[in-house]
Structure 1
Amino acid sequence: MIIGILKEPQGESRVSMLPEAVKTLLSWNTEVCIEADAGSTAYAEDNTYQDVGASIKSRDELLRQADVLIGIQPLSPEEIALTKPSAVIMGQLNALYNPDLTKLLIDQKRTAFSMELVPRTTRAQSMDVLSSMATVTGYKAVLMAADLLPRFFPMFMTAAGSITPSRVLILGAGVAGLQAIATARRLGASVFAFDVRQAAKEEVLSLGAKFVDVEGATEDKGAGGYAVEQSAEYLQKQKDTIHEHALKADVIITTAQIPGRKAPLLVEERTVRAMKPGSVVIDLAASSGGNCALSQPDQTVNINGVRIVGIENLAAKMPQDASKMYGKNYLNFLKLIIKDGNLNLNFEDDIVTGTCVCHDGQAVSPRIVQMQNS
């Protein structure tokens, strides 16, 4: 069985597997081929893959020959047409946000796995690319904010006087938010965090931040740890509370997203216009509509001295460790579908079923089925 590791498109500096992960994959009695220069932007040159036993091929050769194609960003429709009908296509396909691609894969009777669909369960934790990349994103977002902020993060006692610590507000205490809290605290900031899930409060407090409480949130234990949509009354109360805290903040980092839906609006235009000049907003939900009313994907907007940074793929700013984590997630998942060097798709396994977009002309993942029926 030939496994192909693809080079990512322009602007994506990660690679789905570094040589150390490929070495493990080869030990499973598989043949691994790498697209030329696939790892160069993650500081893994072709010779480092060859040293562990992989071969280097062109993209066209991989698309036509591989039994399993592994990447991060999705293939184009034209590239999908070049692959073998029996090939398994894997990546972060954003299947819930890209219904046209999902329909194409189903119509062409392809087998595709979308790694962002990995269930949020204890058993699947080691395969969860969203959590891995959120760890990178939360860390990097704070460093970016610290670089842009025109003042120190920590408190300083100097001969020239005392410097008070910066005040950081984190909106959303999922994996990215918790990592942002931890990083901001390590840098010495005074940190406040908000999340609609009361279960997040204990984690926030354990990291040394203060929890911003807004009573009356709707919670769903079946949402896999994600936030769910809230009532209009709660949303207004939430916006008013965030507005009050935002006026005191030097940095706001927003991380709140709902799978398959537009990101909730947390920071209104009136809030941004009332914030202190020099303040920084890092919107990690910019690609799904943004938590901040004025954010733009992959742009920095300046409103009266308040800079709003909309980030779509911040994990790509740390390609080496992000690729290492991504590759480990892939290996843990591939253990479920590769046995003795051959493909073994066990659709009785809830992780395999939950991650599979489609197989043999049918939607497989319950979330994809639900999307089609809605």
Structure 2
Amino acid sequence: MIKVSIIGATGYTGSELLRYLIPHQEVELAHLTSRSHVNTEVDVYYPFLKGSIDKQFTELEPEKLFNDSDVVFICLPHGHSMELAAAASAYDVKVIDLGADFRLKNIDVYEQTYKVEQAAPNLLKDFVYGLPEKYRADIKTAKYIANPGCFVTSALLGLLPAVNNALVDEQSIIIDSKTGVSGAGRSASVDKLLAELMSNFKAYNPLGHRHIPEIEQELNSSSENAVQVQFTPHLIPTERGIFSTIYATVKDGVTETDIIESYQQAYQDEPFVQILNEGELPQMKHVAGTNNCQIAVQLDERTNRLIVLSIIDNLGKGAAGQAVQNMNIMFGLPEKSGLNTIAMMP
């Protein structure tokens, strides 16, 4: 059995990890930490887990936690994982960080983007970017994983086949993404009040969203030419999900057949990426509660633009589901272990 601990288990990502890990046949939960709910029964704090778990939230004691665990999921805001990862390096324990502290390899870009010091620069080289569809071979032997951002996962899965195969103008990419409110976390704020959110729709950080450098980093590592993206996120009044509509100008001579074949070949063996048939369009409900990504691709011959529709559950493939997928790969387990869920309808 794999002994698993979660640091920061009382947020949305922590609860989603528990939903996947409790029925996982190869997992034994060790420590579930919380700053505010120490000694609280997990199924009291999370009534939806009643009858599924008999544990309490505990205080974070790094030495005990790292000694008792085979893998630790860190579910903390940016700036809080670096010290913990540095402490973990002294132990025989794997780390999967669901925050942003080790996603960006350029220290200056990280510090400019997140306004905090990169306090563990020596560990950057050891962290593997946790997108299995691109880095599976590296993940297999990794000790540390930087789980990708939710918007980034949707954008990269929607764009990598086109960029890898040089099908589009790398300077023409526009990513228009919508997310459910759980992407903003579980802490209380005015923006998430029912009266503020319902019957409302708004963009935020259109010129400087923190995920832009991450998207460009990964696309540039796959392209011979410099990639620059325009990315605008929007908040919509739903609980979960990300819907990215991506536009890019197609290069001369590229046909719709070239595009479709590139996407089908790229993802034909991927357990969680589904390329939809011609005429099918994705809906956020079709991936809710799963680790799946559904993608539809079309070529608008009138404008010579590729249109990609890429949807994920921001808490699933965008966070906890992808983290569990990475854990499965790291420990040589079938990737669908604990993740073979069906979307929730209606």
With normalisation by structure 2, the TM-score equals 0.38
Q: Based on CA coordinates, which of the two structures has the bigger radius of gyration? A: 1
With normalisation by structure 1, the TM-score equals 0.36
